[in-house]
Structures are given as C-alpha cells and as structure tokens.
Structure 1
Amino acid sequence: MEKVSLKGVIDMHVHSLPDIRERAYNDFQMMEAGIRVGARAIVIKSHHGTTMNRAFLVNEHNKIVHKGSNNFTMFGSITLNNAIGGLNTVAVETGLKMGAKVVWLPTTHAANQLRKNGKTGGIECLDNGKVKEPLKEIFKMIKEYDAVLGTGHLSPEEIFPVVDQAKSMGLNKIVITHPEFWVVGMSHDDQIRIVKDYNVYLERCYAQPMGGGLYKSNLEDNLLIIKEVGYKNVMVDTDGGQVENPNWELALEEYMQYLADNGITKEQLDVMTKKIPSMLLGLNK
C-alpha cells in the first residue's frame, strides 16, 4: 500500500503543554507539527480546564509567524472536571462564548474512573439513572453554540442515558470518547448498538494507558470496529501528546498507515480523518 498522507487531516483529541503531566509538545510546537504535515486542524484538550484561550493565542501566533501561508487552525475545548467545578454551567457558557468547540463530560475526575481505580467520590452525571439538571442546561448551550459533546470517561451504563437525553434535546454532534479505553469499557456490542440507536460517532484512538507509563495499542481493535460499525460513524483521533508514545504526527501516520495496509480505502480514511471532524467543527460552512 502506498504511504498515507496527513495533508488535510483533523485530529480532535490531542494533549499538549501547559499541563500537569509531561507532554511531548507545547501548544506552539504542536501547531508547527500540524503545519509541517499539512494538517487542517487540531483540537487541544486538557483534563484540567479549558484550552480555547490557548488555541486563540496559537492561531494569532500562526498569523504573525507564518503570515497566512497555511490554513491550519487550532481549536479549544472544555472538560468538566474538578478544575472548573464539574458540571459548571457558568464555566461552560464562558468557554463556549470564548470559542470552545468541544465540551467533554468528566474524565479523570469522573466517578466511573475513580471507581475503576478503587476510589470513591468523583463527578456523577446521573441521579437515580436520570441526567442531572445542570447537565441538561449544558446540553442546551452545546446545541445553541453548535459545539460537540464528548462523553469523557463515563461508563456504558451512564453513556446510554446521557446520549438518549442529549439526542432528545436536539444534539446531533455527539462523540463517544475512546470507547475502547478500559476505563470506559464499551464492548463491541455496546458500540454497535449506540451507533445503530443514536447515529453517534465513535472516537477511536491510537493507544490507551494501562498504568505505570505503559500504553496498549488500539490499532487492531480499531480496525475491527470500523468493519463492524462502518467507517461513516468512526472518527480517527490519536489522544496523543504523551512522551511514552510516538510524537503526535508519527502516531497518526502509523495509525492511518495500519488501516490503509489492512484494507481501509483512501476514501474511507478521508471520511474518518477529514469529513467527520470537519463537519463537527463547522469547517464545511
């Protein structure tokens, strides 16, 4: 199979500095990596608050340094963890007004993640099986600002009612955040069912942390789910930026090349790496 090209790709889940943990690139280095490979856009994510303000500065820096010679755009997001007060409607509205394109439900501070790690507490999105009222208000804002809902590190038992509520309120830009991640733990049957029932997008990522600095490749399982669910509902992202994994652009190239070498066509790759994220980010308008 011929070598894949990263020209025009969009990755909607990448981590960079500043952060609490070490990352391979800072925001400006991530921008330069994107420009080098001809990427169209990257969404930077932090477990500790917001990144839309960082994305704004990156884009201004790009204009000054590169003087309009590329069409790369950095986008920001907001993650509903403890640093912003969990299901904080004021923080979400502020983030969306400042340009956040993705709202992630709790990740590292989700009650599900704490339970999986043998701890108690954490942020709950459900109350007796029903979506909490602040989250309904957040869903209204996500729809109003035409942003994307990411399900974070919730469990399947939480994801299904959350997605059901979101869809009932008119949200169509819903991404199931790395369902293969062991903390999330969605089976293939779960992933097939949620796509069939709600027409959401599965975000399938390069690798997942197993603890102790060790990462497990998701590539073989990603290929299987693409064949089971169909490429039109799968988005190829890296969740990259870790020092333990290859640099972002190398991880994405390896991921895409693996799919291409195993029967995924260029047209199918374009849907998963360009068309779906472009639609989600409103770049088609």
Structure 2
Amino acid sequence: MEPSPAVARILDGMVDLHCHSGPGPFPREFDHVEGARDGDRIKMRAFVAKSHHHSTVMDLQAARRSFEGIGTQVFGGIVLNNQVGGINPYAVEMCLRMGGKIVWFPTFSSRRHIEFQEEALAGGFPRSTVELTTVPVLLHDAQGRLRPEVGQVADVVAETGAVLNGGHLHPDDMAELFAVGAERGVEKMVASHPNFISDLTLEQGVELSRRGVFMEHEVGMYLPNDHPHFGIEVLLEWIAAVGVERTVLASDLGQLGRTRPVDAFIEVTTALLDHGVAEKDARRMLVDNPAHLLGLD
C-alpha cells in the first residue's frame, strides 16, 4: 500500500512502541531486521521489538551488523511474564542497562489475560509453537500486600528513564502500578490498548491520562479487513476524550498472516484524516509523543 502525500508527510519519522517482530515462541510474520527494512518504506524512525517471552535487547545486539544500511532503528524491552521470572527486577535491570526502552508488566501471565484467554485467542492473540507453563503473575501477596518487587522494578525504570507499561493488568492493578511508578519517580507511563483485555472504561482512561499516563492505541485493532476489534469511531472517541497530548498510536502487529505495521499505519492514518483529524494532531500521536517516550526528542 502506497501512502498519499499527506499520509507520507505524517508518517515520516514515526515511532512504533509496540511491534511483535520475531523470533519467539509465537509465530511471527517477520524478524527484527525485516521489520526495520520495511519501516524504511515510510521513513520510520524507530520501533520497539516486543516479545512476550524474553528481553529483546540481546536479539538486537546479536543482529547489529544486519542493521547496517537500514534507517529505521530498533530498540528492545522486556515483558514480565513467567518466562523471565515474572516481576523480576534483576532481569529488568539487565535489559534496561543494556539499552532496553520499555518494561511491560505481565501480559499473558496476568490474571486478567488468563481470565480473558478465550476472548484474546478469538481476537487474534497467537498460540505458542512450544508448550509453555503459564501461572498468574500477581502484584500482591496472599495477604493483599504489594509485592516489594513491584517497587524495585519501578526504581530501575525511573533510574534509567525507561517507559513503564501496564501490560494486560486489571484496571485497578494498573492504576496502582502507575501510582507506585509516579511515587518512585517514573516519568514515562503507558497503557497499551486500554479498551482491550485490560478493558478500561473511557472514564478510567481519562483519569489515568490526567495522572500523566499515555493511552496507546493499536492500529492493528482498527483494520476493517484484518481481525477488526473496533470501528474507527471508537478510536476517535478515545482521542477526543484523552486528547492528542496523551495519545500514542502503535501497531501491535507482527502476527503470522496479518497486515504489516507499515501498511496498517498507512491505512489507519488515512482513515483518521478522512474523519477530520488534523495532520499536526496525527503527527503528535505517531511521531512526537512516542519519540518523547523513547527519549529521542
């Protein structure tokens, strides 16, 4: 898909905070290098490679020579699922001090995700190619007290200037996590696809945004011909309520057989312009805000 001149202007320099390039136990449409090469089609500035199972920092360091001549940068991060030991400050420390940019709290290991497993699979969430053990990774102990590891992770995120992401937590847990992060000096916080799995209400999203949290909406959920979760009017409603100042658009793509991120960004950006979103506002959500979160501005 080729962008119109207006869409090409908007996407020039864009940053994707949520790209599922491979390798990993979930089958992927492309690897990190292929994703970066494809990003050059629209002059993408950077994307963050997200694996639900491991820190992607080592992947990228091992492949660093393969990125020579490619303009799109790729950064790593870590998701605190079972495969990295859950809420593991030691794994977070290594990831971030070796250049990682985002720490996602549990996704498929969160109690919320496990409760919504059938919905997630029906919505296109991939199945692992190998058998993996999944048990709930919880923020609280049996007495309901916040686990000390939560604060320890927040401390490392604050120290390194990284992004704290709420993963697939329950809205109440997510709000508590972000409160802990703010208390401990975390300045960059993001809620991914707030209206899917975590299933925040619009009012809850607005309240978090007032506390400094960015709402990250995934263009991969607004493709009418590829596993659509919502119509474009839902995205417009969230943008209007939260404001472009606290909204980020990412892809959450890379699943086998699905639209590539570049084409999804072209399609959804075109739809936003068709529905009256100003070019400067689209750039704020696609370029300026995510660049700020990664410390690229």
Q: Give me the TM-score of the superposition, normalised by structure 1.
A: 0.89
Distance change >3 Å, CA 164–CA 259, structure 1 → 2:
same
SS at match of 2:106: coil
Mapped pair 1:268 → 2:281 = yes
Residue 134 of structure 1: CA displacement? Answer: 0.4
**5+ unaligned residues in a row in structure 2: which ranges?**
119-133
Residues 216 and 133 (structure 1), Cα distance of their counterparts in 2 relative to 1, 3 Å cut: same
Counterpart CA distance in 2 for 1:13 and 1:219 is 19
2:217 aligned residue (204, 210, 228):
204
* Higher relative contact order, chain-length normalized (CA < 8 Å, sep 6+): 2
Post-superposition offset of 1:193: 1.4
Q: Is the 8 A contact 1:150 1:175 kept in 2?
A: yes
Checking the alignment, whether the CA contact within 8 Å between 1:231 and 1:272 is kept in structure 2 is yes
| Deviation, structure 1 residue 104 | 0.4
Q: Which amino acid aligns with 1:249?
A: V
Give the whole-Å Cα distance in 1 for the aligned partners of 2:262 and 2:32: 14
Distance of 2:230 and 2:6 partners within structure 1: 20
What SS class does the counterpart of residue 158 from structure 1 fall into?
helix
1:28 Cα offset (Å): 1.5
Which residue of structure 2 aligns with residue 113 of structure 1? 113
The one-letter code sitting in structure 2 at the alignment partner of 1:125 is L
Return structure 1 stretches of 4+ with deviation > 6 angstroms: none
For the residue of structure 1 that corresponds to 2:209, the secondary structure is: helix
Distance 2:256 2:230 in 1: 15
Residues 224-235 of structure 1: pairs in structure 2 closer than 5 A: 224-235=237-248
Is residue 12–residue 237 contact of structure 1 (8 Å, CA) maintained in 2?
yes
Corresponding residue for residue 190 of structure 1: 204
RMSD of equivalent CA atoms: 2.1
For residues 96-145 of structure 1, what are the alpha-carbon distances to aligned partners after superposition, in whole Å with 9 as ceiling and x for unaligned? 12111000000011122112338x94101134555321010010000111
Partner of 1:80: 80
Checking the alignment, whether the CA contact within 8 Å between 2:32 and 2:74 is kept in structure 1 is no
Aligned to 2:290: 277
| Equivalence for 2:164 | 149
Code of the aligned partner of 1:21: F
Amino acid at match of 2:201: S
Query: Structure 1 vs Structure 2: percent identity of aligned residues?
Result: 28
Structural mapping, 1:48-67, within 5 Å: 48-63=53-68, 66=69
Q: Is the 8 A contact 1:59 1:74 kept in 2?
A: no
Choose the corresponding residue for 2:137, options 107, 110, 123: 123
Name the counterpart of 1:44.
49
Shift of the 102–151 alpha-carbon distance from structure 1 to 2, 3 Å rule, reads same
Distance change (3 Å), C-alpha of 1:280 and 1:47 = same
Between the aligned partners of 2:215 and 2:63, the Cα distance in structure 1 is: 28
Q: Tell me the CA shift for residue 86 of structure 1.
A: 0.2
C-alpha spacing 1:159/1:129, structure 2 compared with 1 (3 Å): farther
1:16 and 2:16 correspond: no
User: Partners of 2:172 and 2:45 in 1: how far apart?
Assistant: 35
SS of the residue corresponding to residue 35 of structure 1 reads: helix
Distance 1:129 1:188, change over 3 A: farther
| Matched-pair contact (CA < 8 Å) for 1:207–1:217 | no
Other-structure match for 1:132:
147
